């Protein structure tokens, strides 16, 4: 398995990435009804706003020549933590180690320390993935609704 990252450059690529994001998060959106925070409910306009931030980069996650997912990285190039928000693998490509490999590739580009991210506390597989990569829970959680909480993780 050879995972690579391709930076999203054009508006057309960004639109395709957004469509993938909506699709990839649709199950979690249905399950947890978190219409304010779920990337599956994010408008194209909001993704374009984020894309234009000087500290944001979006990437396609590619296996061979197939796009299997996407990720957004926030790096303000100061002392603040770099952030992954969001990362996803399309449903048909999950459970192949692609997310893990993508994060390893991001760490090659941005350095392996001083990262943060958050995920759904009830999604134990997500937490396991991040902990396997050296992230630890900060102890901070945020209740989103009766169905879900967000847990915050860091990697030093």
The confidence score (pLDDT) of residue 126 equals: 96
Mean pLDDT (whole number) for 45-61: 97
**3-class SS string, 57-121:** EEEEEEECCEEEEEEEEECCCCCCCEEEEEEEECHHHCCCCHHHHHHHHHHHHHCCCCEEEEEEC
Size of the chain in residues? 156
Q: Which of 109, 129, 111, 110 is nearest to 119 (CA)?
A: 129
Q: Which helix (H) or strand (E) holds 139?
A: strand 136-143
Record the tokens describing residue 71, joined without a space. Answer: 């990720």
Task: Give the model confidence (pLDDT) of 64-123 as tens digits.
Answer: 999 999 999 999 999 999 999 999 999 999 999 999 999 999 999 999 999 999 999 999
**Is 1 a residue whose pLDDT tops 80?**
no
Res. 53: pLDDT tops 90: yes
The pTM assigned to this predicted structure is 0.96
Residues 45-50 have a mean pLDDT of 97
Q: Are 42 and 17 a contacting pair, CB within 8 Å?
A: no
Peptide bond before residue 86 is cis, with ω within 30 degrees of 0: yes
């Amino acid at each position: 398995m050879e995972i690579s990252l391709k930076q999203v450059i054009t508006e057309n690529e960004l639109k395709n990435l957004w469509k993938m994001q909506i699709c990839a998060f649709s199950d979690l959106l249905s399950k947890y009804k978190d219409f304010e925070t779920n990337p599956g409910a994010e408008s194209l306009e909001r993704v374009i706003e984020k894309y234009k931030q000087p500290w944001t980069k979006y990437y396609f996650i590619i296996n061979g020549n197939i796009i299997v997912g996407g990720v957004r990285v926030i790096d303000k190039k100061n002392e603040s933590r770099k952030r992954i928000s969001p990362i996803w693998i399309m449903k048909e490509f999950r459970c192949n180690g692609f997310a893990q490999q993508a994060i390893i590739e991001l760490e090659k580009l941005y350095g392996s320390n001083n990262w943060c991210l958050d995920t759904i506390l009830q999604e134990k597989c997500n937490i396991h993935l991040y902990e396997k990569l050296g992230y630890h829970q900060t102890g901070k959680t945020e209740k989103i609704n009766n169905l879900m909480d967000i847990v915050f993780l860091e990697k030093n």
